[in-house]
């Protein structure tokens, strides 16, 4: 359980208005008789940590927060809300409930949400927060969710397994996570119409497909060009073509690119033309490099250089640039071309790192100039001087 004295109005005001170094609070001690300094520090630090990730939780009064470690794997509001668009029904079981962000958003769409969490304190915190939000259709249960759903029918079962710490640094497999989904997948899909699985972006898609069965869709979800989650939608006996859906949420909207897994495509190649395109991180994760060329009618610079070019501007899911100059990568050509001291540098299929290039050519980071170092279709190294569109 948690200390209910944390909900006293003066304590909540202190947590919400605290500024400065929390380490000083640790030495000074708590100004409240019934609340320890460490409890205050946990609330202050965890609340600040979720300001951008969970703005609803951050701005709502009387919300309580778990330790920072429990927040690391928590879905953001953007990705949690996106999940609700993938599934339908009346009942859903969140078998790895955690801090309850996914359950909260599921409750907007489902009549009944079961939030399973083995950590009693974390379950109590989530239950308290659901009460603050007025979500009466969420039931918090301190149980092993995987065991609890066996023999109980749900429209949807959702899981977000956590990676075991003893596997750190090793090849990432789903079987290395808790709960072990591959070991139980055949039984899980019997208990529901659809099973929605969230995994880390570190998981290789081919590896995940080898460990699972009945996968109908994979959603690669990125925010501001950083892949946050892989979402796997499974349905027993679904033998249709596997759909891959990539989405990148940006301040300007969402970039989408969908395709069928192992869909045949032939890329076209050319030397740099008028415009340059860099796919967003979700597409890069999907590996749909040839499909991008074929479907969007853009040319690749090289088989292993995942940059694209065209003579006319296209609507591209990623960053678009106007190519100002193409410079062969040689000392004399580079020295003549580098009339600036500041630029944004990207490398693709290039033997030198960004750090090495900055040091070698004395270029600091930033500004309005964008430099792409890569290999063209003739296997020649070059630098593209670009301006962002």
Residue boundaries of the structural domains of the chain: 4-49, 72-259, 275-388
At residue 281, the pLDDT reads 98
Burial class (CB in 10 A: 0-12, 13-18, 19+), 79: buried
22 membership: H or E segment, kind and range: helix 22-28
Separation CA 367–CA 64 (nearest Å): 42
Strands (E), 224-375: 226-234, 243-250, 253-260, 275-279, 299-302, 305-310, 318-328, 342-348, 364-375
pLDDT of residue 1: 83
Q: How far apart are the first and last CA of the chain?
A: 53
Q: Do the beta carbons of residue 360 and residue 366 sit within 8 Å?
A: no
Closest to 159 in 3D by CA, of 86, 231, 265, 91:
231
Specify the pLDDT at position 164.
67
Backbone φ and ψ for 300, nearest 5 degrees, come out as -80, 150
**Two structure tokens written together for 344:** 């944004």
The distance from CA 192 to its chain's CA centroid, rounded to whole angstroms, is 26
CB 260 within 8 A of CB 316: no
From residue 37, alpha-carbon distances to 86, 122, 125 in Å are: 42, 20, 19
Contact indicator for 113, 41 with CB cutoff of 8 Å: no
User: pLDDT at position 240, please?
Assistant: 78
Whole-prediction pTM: 0.94
Pick the CATH number of 72-259 from 3.60.15.10, 2.60.40.1730, 3.40.50.150, 3.40.50.1370: 3.40.50.150
Pairing of strands 381-388, 177-178: unpaired
Q: Element (H or E) spanning 92, and its range?
A: strand 91-94
Burial 148-174 (b: 16+ CB within 10 A, else e): ebeeeebbbbbbbbebeeeeeeeebbb
Mean pLDDT by 10 residues, the chain (389 residues): 94 94 90 95 96 97 94 95 98 98 98 97 97 98 97 96 66 88 95 96 95 96 98 86 97 96 95 98 97 97 97 97 98 95 97 97 97 98 98
Q: How far apart are CA 97 and CA 114, in angstroms?
A: 9
């Amino acid at each position: 359980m948690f200390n209910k004295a944390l909900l006293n109005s003066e304590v909540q005001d202190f947590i919400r208005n605290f500024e400065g170094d929390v380490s000083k609070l640790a030495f000074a001690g708590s100004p409240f008789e019934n609340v320890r300094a460490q409890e205050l520090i946990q609330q202050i630090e965890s609340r600040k940590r979720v300001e951008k990730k969970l703005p609803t939780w951050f701005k709502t009064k009387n919300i309580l927060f778990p330790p920072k470690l429990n927040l690391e794997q928590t879905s953001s509001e953007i990705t949690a809300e996106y999940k609700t668009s993938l599934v339908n029904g009346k009942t859903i079981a969140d078998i790895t409930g955690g801090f309850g962000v996914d359950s909260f958003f599921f409750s907007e769409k489902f009549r009944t949400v079961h939030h399973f969490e083995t950590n009693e304190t974390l379950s109590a915190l989530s239950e308290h927060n659901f009460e603050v939000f007025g979500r009466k259709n969420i039931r918090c249960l301190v149980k092993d969710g995987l065991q609890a759903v066996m023999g109980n029918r749900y429209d949807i079962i959702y899981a977000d397994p956590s990676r075991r710490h003893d596997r750190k640094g090793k090849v990432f497999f789903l079987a290395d996570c808790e709960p072990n989904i591959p070991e139980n997948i055949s039984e899980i899909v019997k208990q529901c119409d659809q099973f929605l699985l969230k995994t880390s972006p570190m998981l290789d898609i081919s590896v995940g497909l080898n460990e699972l069965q009945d996968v109908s869709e994979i959603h690669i979800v990125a925010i501001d060009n950083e892949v946050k989650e892989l979402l796997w939608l499974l349905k027993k006996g679904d033998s249709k073509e596997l759909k891959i859906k990539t989405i990148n949420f940006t301040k300007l909207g969402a970039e989408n690119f969908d395709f069928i897994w192992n869909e045949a495509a032939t890329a076209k190649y050319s030397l740099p033309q008028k415009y340059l395109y860099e796919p967003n991180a979700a597409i890069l994760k999907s590996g749909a490099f040839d499909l991008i060329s074929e479907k969007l009618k853009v040319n690749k610079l090289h088989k292993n250089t995942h940059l694209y070019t065209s003579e006319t501007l296209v609507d591209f899911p990623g960053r678009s640039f106007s190519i100002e100059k193409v410079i062969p990568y040689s000392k004399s050509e580079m020295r003549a071309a580098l009339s600036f001291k500041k630029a944004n540098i990207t490398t693709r299929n290039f033997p030198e790192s960004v750090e090495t290039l900055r040091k070698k050519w004395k270029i600091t980071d930033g500004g309005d100039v964008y430099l792409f170092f890569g290999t063209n279709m003739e296997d020649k190294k070059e630098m593209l001087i670009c301006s962002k569109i």
